[in-house]
Amino acid sequence: MENAFLPYRSLKDCVMEYLRQEMESGNLKPGERINEKEICQKLGISRTPIREALIQLEREGFVEISPRKSIRVKKLSLKEIEDIYNVVGTLEAEAAEQACDSLSPEDILKMEEGYEQMAQALANDDFRKYIDINLELHNVHLRLCGNTVLQQIVNQLKKRLYDFPRILLKIPEWEEKCMQEHQQLIQFFKEKNKPAIKDLIKNKHWGFEDNRKFILVYYDLLNSEIAQNHSLNQPLTEGDAAPK
């Protein structure tokens, strides 16, 4: 029997949010089987909205549904992360350039306030809040780029990165690097320095090799088959990439 307190149209979204939270918290780990019956019992709903939610999560790359109906949390490979970084970096750099002339003093002020809030979140060891404010700071120029399709693609890919099971902890050197980059980005927006904005976003902030040693820690890939034979500072070669 469906939960009487939830309208049917919202059940799929509720299940998706529940599963994302389970993955983010580490209760559901990469490669782990998802038990539909247990979810039915825990949430007090039928199998239909759960199946709909799982199909949507498969489209978004979070789960794998095998021909025999086995459902597992999809493993995010280092190659997939690299591909996402490259695509997001390229698209967001383009969006920032398009938005540059449209940014108002109020938009710059919002970015500066976001920067201060991020610093405070780090000081309070509130990493979840740090991520949320970070995303909102970037959304200032994404919303102003005038390309809703680009914005949707970038935000969906970011969800793939940030909602995936990972080590939710501070990496001081990475946070310091990111904070410096945000400070520089705000200054470049003030100066309307489009080449510097594009270079910073694409090659530094979203540059895979520039962030690789932190990514290995953040996604707990140090002991993976891909990474185990490489030091933190050793770049990947073509033969070391995960299979496509």
71-73 vs 63-65, strand pairing mode: antiparallel
User: Using 50, 70 and 90 to split pLDDT, how confident is the model at 67?
Assistant: confident
Three-state DSSP class for 188? helix
Question: What's residue 239's pLDDT?
Answer: 34
| Helix (H) / strand (E) containing 82 | helix 78-99
Question: What's residue 167's pLDDT?
Answer: 56
User: Using 50, 70 and 90 to split pLDDT, how confident is the model at 131?
Assistant: confident
Residues 86 and 187 in one domain: yes
Residues 204 and 152 in one domain: yes
Q: Give me the mean pLDDT over the 117-146 stretch.
A: 92
Residues 158 and 110 in one domain: yes
C-beta contacts of 186-193 below 8 A and 24+ residues apart:
186/108, 186/111, 186/112, 186/115, 189/96, 189/100, 189/103, 189/108, 189/111, 189/141, 190/108, 192/100, 192/101
Residues 45 and 91 in one domain: no
Residues 16 and 86 in one domain: no
Is the pLDDT at 77 greater than 50? The verdict is: yes
User: Which residues fall within 8 angstroms of residue 125, CB to CB, at 6 or more apart?
Assistant: 170
CB contact at 8 A, 234 and 134: no
Is the pLDDT at 36 greater than 60? The verdict is: yes
Q: Quick one: how far is CA 188 from the chain centroid?
A: 24
The Cα-based distances of 36 to 21, 87, 164 in angstroms read: 16, 33, 19
Question: What's residue 95's pLDDT?
Answer: 97
User: Using 50, 70 and 90 to split pLDDT, how confident is the model at 103?
Assistant: very high
Is the pLDDT at 235 greater than 60? The verdict is: no
Query: Taking Cα atoms as reference points, which of 144, 135, 55 lies closest to residue 106?
Result: 144
> How many domains are contained in the chain?
2
User: Among 73, 98, 119, where does a domain finish?
Assistant: 73
- Mean pLDDT estimate for the chain: 84
Q: What span, in angstroms and rounded, lies between the C-alpha atoms of 76 and 164? A: 8
Residues 57 and 127 in one domain: no
User: Using 50, 70 and 90 to split pLDDT, how confident is the model at 168?
Assistant: low
Residues 150 and 88 in one domain: yes
In a domain, 2, yes or no: no
Q: What span, in angstroms and rounded, lies between the C-alpha atoms of 208 and 89? A: 9
Give the domain CATH number at 53.
1.10.10.10
User: Among 73, 93, 123, where does a domain finish?
Assistant: 73
Query: Which of 155 and 160 is assigned the larger pLDDT?
Result: 155
Is the pLDDT at 208 greater than 90? The verdict is: yes
227 is in which domain, residue-wise? 78-233
Task: Say which range, 96-110, 141-155, 211-225, has the weakest mean pLDDT.
Answer: 211-225
User: Using 50, 70 and 90 to split pLDDT, how confident is the model at 24?
Assistant: confident
In a domain, 187, yes or no: yes
Q: List the structure tokens of 168.
A: 């939710």
In a domain, 93, yes or no: yes
Give the domain CATH number at 199.
1.20.120.530
The percentage of the chain sitting over the pLDDT mark of 70, rounded to a whole number, equals 83
Beta bridge partners, 64, equal 72
In a domain, 196, yes or no: yes
In a domain, 125, yes or no: yes
Q: Give me the mean pLDDT over the 46-56 stretch.
A: 92
